[in-house]
Amino acid sequence: MILFSVVCRLSSVFYKMKIGIDIRTLMDAQYSGVSEYTLNLVKEILKLDSQNEYRLFYNSTKDIEKHMPKFNYPNVKIIKKSIPNKILNYFLFKHLNYPKIDRALGVDLFFMPHINFIALTPNPSPAPAERERGGKSILTIHDLSFLRFPEYFSFRKNFWHKMINVKKLVKKFDKIIAVSENTKNDIVELCGVKPEKIKVIYSGIESEFKELNSKALELSSLNFVKEKYKLPEKFILFLGTVEPRKNIEGLISAYNKFRARHDEFKNYKLIIAGGKGWKSEDILNEWKKSKYKDDVKFLGYVDKKDKVYLYNLASLFVYPSFYEGFGFPPLEAMACGTPIITSFTSSLPEIVGSAGIMVDPHNITDMASAIEQVLSNDELRNNLIEKGLEKAKAFSWENTAREYLEVFKNLIF
């Protein structure tokens, strides 16, 4: 057994792994949580690992190469398939279980950073002595909100999730990565996966999310973004997809209650930033009923480069989501030195901890009271800012990528 272990260590030094990565999420026109996760993780893995070979796979019948991120590394090869998605997903992958992508790419290990249709070679024998190098696979699951709360998704989205059949999909993979302990618990409970098959690897945060100071360039950029979006002097910020799961209707109701109780805070406006999702019309209708609708502004989709300035300009960040697999926006806000209020549901207490005020997302009165507390109590506000900045330091893409590379190595050798 000792000799076997030594051989494995030596092999990991001299053998070049061939690793395939599914980058289909990077084809999106506008990036959201999963696509940004994939881009940041893949970039960091490739920056850290110059030894192994990487083959990045995507499928499109259109010429979208100019829209895809560039991975200009000598050990990277981009492999594009040009099969109509409906044929590839519903006919080939789902019904024929073909083509086996790991075999087609010629890789030892295939990594999928998000659930999707796929066909892979069968898992090898679990007995270490009988295993051959290759044929390993890893899947990252961000959340199972579509199983927990199907009512938060459109018919089309629910149909797509049903066709993928995540309970069956997880059986194809040797290792499952969960982005939080909460997601791991959901995978165990809802998909029947054994805990030892799942590893929790927290997501990272990009270095550009930081507290800005009084440098001339940063002040100029802050003023530019403020003017670009016609932002008020003082505002409460929400940033995320405008959809029911994010509880924006609840936030608007809490803002209404807060304003009705405290006329002295009438200068604080509510800014809702993010692209429109499913049932966004219902949220807009709720906004139109508000007595304070003129003080509530929807920005729509925000350029990624502008987010850091929005966080820094905001007086308070409120994220009352009903369910999150991880929750990037609260973490980004904390890194920018913005005090936050968020829900004590799903993974959010795990990520935020004592660095934010946690509220019941169903309790509008509590949410309104929390807003009042932060805006009226300088000591509390400064304490939240300090704790948030410290908490955010624990999350980096370098740490995330290193943990993934360790999983890759351990699966192959």
Q: What is the pLDDT of residue 213?
A: 79
State whether the Cα torsion 149-155-156-162 is positive or negative: positive
Q: What is the pLDDT of residue 131?
A: 37
Q: How confident is the model at residue 8 (pLDDT cuts 50, 70, 90)?
A: very low
Beta-carbon contacts of residue 388 (< 8 Å; ≥ 6 apart): 333, 334, 335, 337, 338, 339, 340, 355, 356
Instruction: Kindly state which CATH superfamily the domain 2-204+397-412 is placed in.
Output: Glycogen Phosphorylase B; (3.40.50.2000)
Q: How confident is the model at residue 408 (pLDDT cuts 50, 70, 90)?
A: very high
**Mean pLDDT value of segment 336-353:** 96
Q: What is the pLDDT of residue 78?
A: 95
- Report d(CA 211, CA 213) in Å as an integer: 7
Q: What is the pLDDT of residue 13?
A: 57
Q: How confident is the model at residue 281 (pLDDT cuts 50, 70, 90)?
A: confident
- Checking if the pLDDT of 1 tops 70, the result is no
User: Per residue in 218-258, pLDDT tens?
Assistant: 888 999 999 999 999 999 999 999 999 999 999 999 999 99
**Mean pLDDT value of segment 192-197:** 97
CA 117 to chain CA mean position, Å? 19
- Checking if the pLDDT of 134 tops 80, the result is no
Q: Which helix (H) or strand (E) holds 365?
A: helix 364-376
**Mean pLDDT value of segment 114-141:** 74
| Contact criterion met (CB below 8 Å) for 179 and 142 | yes
Q: How confident is the model at residue 325 (pLDDT cuts 50, 70, 90)?
A: very high
Q: How confident is the model at residue 32 (pLDDT cuts 50, 70, 90)?
A: confident
Q: What is the chain's mean pLDDT, rounded? A: 91
| Contact criterion met (CB below 8 Å) for 141 and 172 | no
Secondary structure (DSSP) of 124-182:
PPSSGGG--S--EEEEEE---HHHH-GGGS-HHHHHHHHHH-HHHHGGG-SEEEESSHH
User: Per residue in 159-170, pLDDT tens?
Assistant: 999 999 999 999
CATH number belonging to domain 216-392: 3.40.50.2000
Distance (Å) of CA 84 to CA 60, 61, 89, 165, 275: 7, 6, 9, 21, 27
Q: What is the pLDDT of residue 171?
A: 94
Angle, CA of 303, 309 and 313, to the nearest 5°: 130
Long-range contacts of 356-359, Cβ-Cβ distance < 8 Å, separation of 24 or more: 356/330, 356/384, 356/388, 357/384, 359/320
Q: What is the pLDDT of residue 88?
A: 96
Q: How confident is the model at residue 47 (pLDDT cuts 50, 70, 90)?
A: very high
**Mean pLDDT value of segment 282-288:** 89
Q: How confident is the model at residue 125 (pLDDT cuts 50, 70, 90)?
A: very low
Q: Does residue 368 or residue 217 have the better pLDDT?
A: 368
Distance (Å) of CA 357 to CA 238, 310, 349, 361: 15, 20, 10, 12
Portions of the chain given CATH number 3.40.50.2000: 2-204+397-412, 216-392
- Checking if the pLDDT of 302 tops 50, the result is yes
Q: How confident is the model at residue 33 (pLDDT cuts 50, 70, 90)?
A: confident
**Mean pLDDT value of segment 379-383:** 97
- Checking if the pLDDT of 154 tops 50, the result is yes
